[in-house]
Amino acid sequence: MQSERYLDIRSGNLMVVADLHGDGDAFDRYVETFLAMRDAGDADRLVILGDLIHGYGSEEEDHSIRMILRVIELQERFGDDVIIMLLGNHEMPHIYSVSLAKGELEFTPRFERSMGEHREKIVSFLKTLPFAARTANGVLLTHAGPDESSINRIERLRRFNHDDLINEANQTLAQQDDLDKVYETYATLTGHSYQELAKSYLGVDGPDDPRYPHLMRALFISERDHRFAVLWDFLFTQNERGLVPDTYEQICRRYLDAFTMGGPGPQRVCVSGHIVVPNGGYVAVNDRHFRIASATHARPRELGIYLMLENGKAIQNASDLEPLVRSIF
């Protein structure tokens, strides 16, 4: 599987979109805009910064499955160097069968049930997704943005292999003498029967389903494998929250310096999504971090934006990006 998780983009105009979370209307607008700009020679690559899936509204309003299948189709048509999607914290759980919730809102069960016959294609696609894109313009693209704990783990993340974790957990499961007792222990820990939880979170019918043990496997990975913790911290960081501004800016600088090594040039500004922008569709968190919201995380939604990075235009700080924001609403 994937041996290099960082893309180096040295040419082309980039249309950058973040956190659509199952918003089919916004997705269709962005794709149509990109394709029109590509035909006109104004855009070369579409970069989606993760969290394409998991709508916050009703099941009828959540177009996650259609959207991710469309991205797969577009990659097959144009190539994964033209249609680029980074791994977000909402895609990652479906690689490992880990549950994801926010308060009482449970994200993963609906998507798990909805994959149906497309499961293998979708999960295989998610496993290939890069974690970051480094540009010759000096802009680092990630889903979640700078994280202090990841600074010394950049090399480990660069060659991250999901299947290593999964295969080792499968071996651990295979070594269990009595899986029923393992399931009973799981039920004791959670207060619910294993079969009930597997049906809810994984959409499996019962013990005969080959995916039935995956909930237990996910517990082994998430609780025992330090490599999973590295990935979790990278994708779930809260950036500046709880930090004084000067401290966070220093973290940003060190994060960018770490990503510069081996890349196409100095990385001077990180562009990410992941966190709500409370007033509009973008914010310069500081000189080194620029956050965008393309729909769901914009307030209001209709102020969502995309970022148009122009080939050959060096970016020195976050304020250089403000003139490059565009709207499709």
What is the Cα–Cα distance from 316 to 137, expressed in whole angstroms?
9
Give the pLDDT score at 35. Answer: 98
Q: What is the pTM of this model?
A: 0.97
Helices (H), 20-63: 24-40
- Burial letters for 219-252: b for 16+ Cβ neighbours within 10 Å, e otherwise? bbbbeebebbebbebbbebebbeeeeeeebbebb
Closest by CA to 159, choosing from 18, 4, 270, is 4
What is the Cα–Cα distance from 34 to 28, expressed in whole angstroms?
10
pLDDT tens-digit readout, 95-144: 999 999 999 899 999 999 999 999 999 999 999 999 999 999 999 999 99
The token pair at 37 is 């700009």
Residues in the chain: 329
CATH class of 6-164+224-326: alpha beta
pLDDT tens-digit readout, 36-46: 999 999 999 99
The token pair at 140 is 């680092």
Give the pLDDT score at 3. Answer: 55
| Radius of gyration over every alpha carbon of the chain, rounded to an integer in angstroms | 20
Give the pLDDT score at 1. Answer: 38
List of residues 6+ apart from 209 with CB closer than 8 A: 198
Q: Nearest 10 degrees: CA dihedral of 8, 12, 17, 23?
A: -110
What is the Cα–Cα distance from 110 to 61, expressed in whole angstroms?
12
The token pair at 270 is 């990180």
Number of other residues whose CB lies within 10 A of the CB of residue 198: 24
Bond prior to 266 in cis (omega within 30° of 0): no
Q: Give every residue of the chain whose pLDDT is below 70, as ranges.
A: 1-3
27 in Cβ contact with 76 (< 8 Å): no
Give the pLDDT score at 2. Answer: 45
Domain ranges of the chain: 6-164+224-326, 165-223
Sign for the CA dihedral angle at 261, 266, 268, 274 comes to negative
Closest by CA to 146, choosing from 240, 9, 73, 60, is 240
